[in-house]
Amino acid sequence: MTLTDKSAFETGDANEHGYKTFTIGGFTFSRDEFFAHVSWPTGRHVLSVDTFLRALQRDVAWDFFYGTVNFDSVIGTVNHYGTVDLFAGRYNEAYRRAELDHVENFDTPMLREAFKSMLDDWTNASYDPFASPAETGKPFGVKDGFNTEAVTRRRIAAARMVGVPGDEQIRSDEMGFPINRMFADVGQEEPVVEAEPGFESEVAAFNLFAYLSRSNVTWNPSVVSVCKDSLYCPTTEEYILPVFHGNDRVEWFVQLSDEIIWDVQDRDTGAVRSKVVMRAGDVAAMPADIRHQGYSPKRSMLLVWENNSADLPELIATGRAPQYPIDF
Ligand SMILES: [Fe+2]
């Protein structure tokens, strides 16, 4: 099997609903008009195809992200940065106790290609899994075309900073990024930069609020500035974060506008840890041993601040670095 072969993970013809069925390792994924069905050697699971596609889209676009991406309380992935665990019930105490949980480890490119094929086949023409539900069609029904352009969106990842020559550029109407309906009042003035001669390519500044007001996706942290391992990953949020993100490092949140309500659970068992309400100006640090899901009643701006150091998961897992960011 070659990884570029789109059919490598498909099992034959489309089903009666028009969708392909996919297998990878011992896992089989199929969908009908409303649900994704997942089976593995010791069990099976069903979840809304809306939830499933929104989560799958993030896992694909983020290349499995930091730590754990829980599609729901049963299905998800753990990134080992080179390989990825695909699991069912592994971080669910009841499944563990009943010994129905299952984990398989794959080389990252293999699972990435399988997920990309499934996302493309299962996403119909009018549905965009990255969009707010208020700004896209429905994911339900029989197979009805493709939306390949949306599901293969390039993720913004600045090498230094948005606006620096040769790097990611600021957004504009001309580039196809109109101001979102919920951010019509956000000022669009850009800062004036007066660099000394010879430093024009070294000095840059941009209006982050204006930049975010033109984001056409939700719950998709993208890198706008980089200082060594310090990544600023702001994002706009509306409705529900489609995954429970399980951290393998501390993650800082700065609420830039409006409000997000966070459900915070134990990363491994799903036991409830806390409910966090963040309003504009609030700052929080999510510890390295939790999972979290956010609810944004109105489109809001969130700055996610990530430490990209490859050493962190191991340092934290072995107790040489703390699960939390700071001692008071
Ligand atoms: Fe997170």
What are the residues whose beta carbon lies below 5 Å from ligand 1 (ion)? 245, 251
Please tell me the distance between residue 148's alpha carbon and the centre of ligand 1 in angstroms: 26
In the prediction, which pLDDT does 7 show? 52
Please tell me the distance between residue 188's alpha carbon and the centre of ligand 1 in angstroms: 29
Please tell me the distance between residue 307's alpha carbon and the centre of ligand 1 in angstroms: 12
Residue 52, φ and ψ in degrees, nearest 5: -65, -50
Q: What is the pTM of this model?
A: 0.95
How many whole angstroms separate alpha carbon 139 and alpha carbon 54?
10
Please tell me the distance between residue 303's alpha carbon and the centre of ligand 1 in angstroms: 11
Look up residue 256 and give its amino acid.
L
In the prediction, which pLDDT does 326 show? 85
Q: Which of 157, 147, 142, 161 is nearest to 225 (CA)?
A: 161
Give the Cβ contact number of residue 74 at 10 Å: 23
Please tell me the distance between residue 248's alpha carbon and the centre of ligand 1 in angstroms: 9
Please tell me the distance between residue 247's alpha carbon and the centre of ligand 1 in angstroms: 6
How many whole angstroms separate alpha carbon 93 and alpha carbon 99?
10
Please tell me the distance between residue 251's alpha carbon and the centre of ligand 1 in angstroms: 7
Residue-level pLDDT, tens digit, the chain, 328 residues: 444 455 568 788 899 999 999 999 999 999 999 999 999 999 999 999 999 999 999 999 999 999 999 999 999 999 999 999 999 999 999 999 999 999 999 999 999 999 999 999 999 999 999 999 999 999 999 999 999 999 999 988 999 999 998 999 999 999 999 999 999 999 999 999 999 999 988 899 999 999 999 999 999 999 999 999 999 999 999 999 999 999 999 999 999 999 999 999 999 999 999 999 999 999 999 999 999 999 999 999 999 999 999 999 999 999 999 999 888 8
- List, for residues 225-237, the tens digit of each pLDDT value: 999 999 999 999 9
Q: Which residue has 């429970």 as its token pair?
A: 244
Coil, helix or strand at residue 54: helix
Q: Which of 181, 202, 201 is nearest to 135 (CA)?
A: 181
56 in Cβ contact with 71 (< 8 Å): yes
Give the Cβ contact number of residue 102 at 10 Å: 19
Please tell me the distance between residue 275's alpha carbon and the centre of ligand 1 in angstroms: 15
Please tell me the distance between residue 76's alpha carbon and the centre of ligand 1 in angstroms: 14
**What string of DSSP letters covers 68-133?**
EEESSSSEEEEE-SSEEEEEESTT-HHHHHTT--EEEEEEHHHHHHHHHHHHHHHS-TT--TTS-G
Please tell me the distance between residue 197's alpha carbon and the centre of ligand 1 in angstroms: 41
The strand pairing partners of 144, in sequence order, are none
Q: Which residue spans within 187-322 are E strands per DSSP?
A: 225-227, 230-240, 244-246, 251-255, 259-266, 272-279, 283-286, 290-307
In the prediction, which pLDDT does 150 show? 97
Encode 171-214 in three state secondary structure. Answer: CCCCCCCCCCHHHCCCCCCCCCCCCCCCCCCCCCCCCHHHHHHC
323 in Cβ contact with 251 (< 8 Å): no
DSSP-derived secondary structure letter, 247 = P
Please tell me the distance between residue 264's alpha carbon and the centre of ligand 1 in angstroms: 10
Look up residue 212 and give its amino acid.
L
